Amino acid sequence: MAIRLQKYMAQAGVASRRASEKLIVAGKVKVNGKVVTELGTKVNGNDFVEVNGKLIEQVETKEYFLFYKPRGVISAVKDDKGRKVVTDYFTDIPQRLYPVGRLDYDTSGLLLMTNDGELANKLMHPKYKIEKTYVAKVKGIPSNDSLKQLRIGVKLDDHHRSSSAKVKILSSDKKTDTAIVSITIHEGRYHQVKIMFEKVGHPVKKLKRERYGFLTLDGLTAGQFRPLSHNEVHKLEKMVSNKR
């Protein structure tokens, strides 16, 4: 996404935005080899910007957002079928963001968005065992035996078995033969929560991720997002530090 030249310069550490504007007006800045004095000029990562004859390299500011993904949205930056993707909600953010992991098309809930590839890769690595809590509406009312199976772990496929999980029934309705169940896992295999409930005979009718580590959806509604605080980013970094 194109941004104003003075902002581009400020993000690259050349000078403050106001000082960058003065450099532009003074004819000290070139874009793609041509002197630019118009403050409304916009550039992107494909443009070459020189200040006083020196080419500057854009250092992209790292951004971190907590996003409440609605159902019916793809956890990707683009979709070849033209369906809505998570980045469609961040069109005013100049940085190129991408999701940390994924939520299924029909699953809503907490999804982290960032351009910090290093932190994203660590958060997704299974060795750090980041807990993720989901709330599922399932068919039928799970018995104590079914809950025990989920807590111990179930066979997902021929090669994988789920690790132990924290599971509890939040509510149940005998009239509709459904239950609302909270489940906390630290893995992230494809369709894992749905497969786990399917294996114990209680297919998921609706699924939402409500917690990621210490982060929650408090204060947000579907489609909304907020930036993470410096303290929250620091806590995430600490969770996946090599010292752990």
pLDDT tens sequence across 46-89: 789 999 999 987 666 789 999 999 999 999 998 989 899 999 99
Structure tokens at 69: 């993904």
CA dihedral 166, 218, 107, 206 (to 10 degrees): 70
In sign, the C-alpha dihedral spanning 103, 108, 112, 115 is positive
pLDDT for res 1: 62
Cα–Cα distance for residue pair 227/87, rounded to 1 Å:
14
Q: Which residues make up the CATH 3.10.290.10 domain(s) of the chain?
A: 3-55
Structure tokens at 37: 């004095």
Give the active site residues.
Answer: 104
DSSP track, 116-175: -HHHHHHHH-GGG---EEEEEEEES---HHHHHHHHH--B-SSS-B----EEEEEEEETT
Long-range contacts of 165-173 (CB under 8 A, 24+ apart): 165/196, 166/133, 169/141, 169/142, 170/135, 172/141
Question: Which architecture does CATH list for 64-127+215-239?
Answer: 2-Layer Sandwich (3.30)
Helix axes 117-124, 230-239, angle to 10 degrees: 50
Residue with the larger pLDDT of the pair 19 and 109: 109
> Averaged over 208-219, what is the pLDDT?
97
pLDDT for res 90: 95
Contact 30, 49 (CB under 8 A): yes
Q: pLDDT class for 140, splitting at 50, 70, 90?
A: very high
Contact 124, 144 (CB under 8 A): no
> Averaged over 11-17, what is the pLDDT?
79
Residue 3 predicted with pLDDT over 90: no
What sections of 12-51 are H helices per DSSP? 17-25
Q: How many CA atoms lie less than 13 Å away from 10 in the CB half-sphere?
A: 12
Fold of 3-55: 3.10.290
Q: Which residues make up the CATH 3.30.70.1560 domain(s) of the chain?
A: 131-212
Q: pLDDT class for 95, splitting at 50, 70, 90?
A: confident
CATH of 131-212, one of 2.60.40.10, 3.40.50.740, 3.30.70.1560, 3.40.50.150: 3.30.70.1560
